[in-house]
Structure 1
Amino acid sequence: MKTIKFYLSFVAVFAMLFTSCSKDDSSSTTTDSDKATLSFGAIVQDLTAKNTNRQSAIEDMPDCSDEEAAYVEIVLMQGENAVVGTADNPYRVNLVSGQVFTEEDAALELTPGNYSLTHFSVYSADGTLLWLAPKGGALAEFVNNSLPMDIALGAGVKKYVDVSVLCYDNRDVNEYGYQFFELDINEAFEFCFFANYCSPDGRHYPARYAVTLSIDGEILYEGVENNVGRNEDGDLYADALCFALPNLDEYGDNEDYIDYTLTLLDWTGEADAYGDVAPMTISGSLSRADIMANFSGDDDVEYEHFRFGCE
């Protein structure tokens, strides 16, 4: 009997040790239960019904296509960082066949935390844009929640997020809150502006300025201001402004099609550089050749340097 009791005690101790080791091992690795799984569904809003109860600048409601939705494109951010997709290259997620919610996708197995959906568009199998989630613009008032949409993900959660979308009929996409080249073209150039200001006494300063860009009167960017300040060494600085500009095939290489206006701004405050200034603007146009001339190698882009009040 003593032998049997000793044997059982030994087995119990061994089992406890084995269990303890197993727990230690599992705590040092990431398991599926530590992740959150995200899926999306598209809820098409009835604009006709909503328009009867709201004042809006929209005269004609977007026409809806009869084509079947096949996939969505999304951009998911965490703070300032793009986690899934980017503004220039949204991430594609297929829809379940015949449904309007997304399939499971490994890219949407995410670390728990707070995220923001900043782009959501729905396409047919042939790549036709059918529905779009507004992120501002005149049409944002016709959905319950426009983008960006905050999404909180907990560990082990399988979360379905419904996104309100509107039919897309190739109208001015500013009414949806998008720049037209975010949706209608596949390639964009980067172009950077930098400016100096020369005071009446001939002294040069980095300039505080705003940039507006347009094509045939269609605003791409309006009044975008650069960052200015004073660095740790006490020196004044002003950042360049860089923009994604559309590469449109209908224009020749040397044909100007992007119009720009730089407006000099006052620079006052703690990092006061030159104080108040008289209104001053610099305007011009860019061709594809102008933009390409600022490329240096495959990735580097040289700044286009402008000067306010300088001979």
Structure 2
Amino acid sequence: MKLNYNYMVLALLLVLCLTGCSKDEASSVNTPDESQSATITFQALLDNLANRSMNKAHFDQVPTCSDGVPEIAVIGIEYGSESKTVVVDILEDEEGYFTAYSEDLKVPVPSDGTTTVTVTSFMVYDGATDGDETDMYYSSDYGNLIWIAPISTDDENEDQFAGYVDNPLPYSFELSPGTKPYIPIDVLCFDRRMVNEYGYVFFDIDQKEIFNFCLFGNYCTPSGRHYVANYSIDVWLGDDNTGIQIYDGLISEAVDSNNDGIYEESPLCIGLPDDPDTANEEYYFEITLRDSPEYDAGDDEGRVVLAGVLTEEEAKNLFVGDSMLEYYHFQVGNCGESDTPPIFNDPEDETMRYKSCLGALNGSEAVIFAYAKLEGNYLTTEVWAPYVPSGEHMQHLHGSADDTFISSCPDESDDANNDGYIDINEGLSDYGLPQLFLTTSGATNASGGTWPSGSSYMYSRTVTLGSADTPSKAAMTPLDHKTVVVHGMMVDGTFDPNMPIACGQLELNN
């Protein structure tokens, strides 16, 4: 299997706001009919975004990010029968970037009405005089193009930037004399250098960052033969397919690039928008299997084979960063393997599945995700821990055997002795006694077994409920009444194997 990483990385979102000029600026211009005109000024917000990739063809118009400083704005506007391009300098003060005053941006406005102004283009250059003349983004007049307001080029796809920018061009607004409207124009650039850039702030306006999520799939025939999967994905904001759709039938297809009968495919990398005002944002995925020259998917062709919610916490903590997983690897058919990790489910599979994002306890800063599925009497648990304090980590499913209460996680109020830690005994009233010991091998009860260790780990084990050392299925169900608790951290210079570092209640994930 050959993986080609062609990352297109989006690093920077610049929200520029159109506003009427200030009173000081107006008074400095001696114009008798000032009440019947208005002057447009552009002010800038630069947001320091993570460098993540996107795979949307309509972003081809967006230039590559650079370390160039914004010097010149080239702006196309229309109003009435007038259409013109205005070139204006970009200035900076302690509050951020903004365009210099320009008479060319003064728009006549009826004293008893408004004028509709349409921004048709907005490009920002760095003013460099020694650029590469062959670079499509270099202008000998203005330098390197570093930002551009994306233009919605297809009237039938006006929502092609939905979820990424609020107002793709062309964008119209009403301008009245004496008013100061703030109309956001979103400006983008791509960064292919995989490094963090910029960190300028103007004033507090909601903005979105883009982070990367990659997928790679295999299809396996009934006999177990593996192939690179052809598939398409649809993605919506929210927990189902009724939200804003940000990807519609995006196709990943294997190709025989060397004409040698060996098909290869790169992971499909997409950019997901993150609203900083929404905690742990959710993205609903549907993955549809497609036929390939290598295989016939039979009844599965054209079927949604995986669906479900990817949370922001899962995506960022499991798949974003050098030390994380490179991509979500899913398996369709008789592959003999499970997805890594099992985020999405086959909508036609009636297996009961659960997951939890564990909350850190006692200042551990642990990042842990737990997954469970119940098939008959077989219970499979997986724990993915991208970060935990170094050491050995006991982990358990807690609850009550007779389901007399719903297991939950403790909070600061449970620190009875006020020592700054919620020890294992102080949390028992919330999560209950351990019912299943999530050991890596050996017994799954108090009599023994080994535990995962390290500063990160991936754990998976299947046990038969009701066997010699495991609770019965009746005692372990319903699973969404159980919590996963992980232990082990340094306390006052000594490693305490019992100190809880994270806790999370399982939730149904079907």
Query: Taking structure 2 as the reference length, what is the TM-score of the superposition?
Result: 0.31
More helix by share: 1
Q: TM-score of the superposition, structure 1-length normalised?
A: 0.48
Name the structure, 1 or 2, with higher relative contact order (CA <8 Å, separation 6+). 1
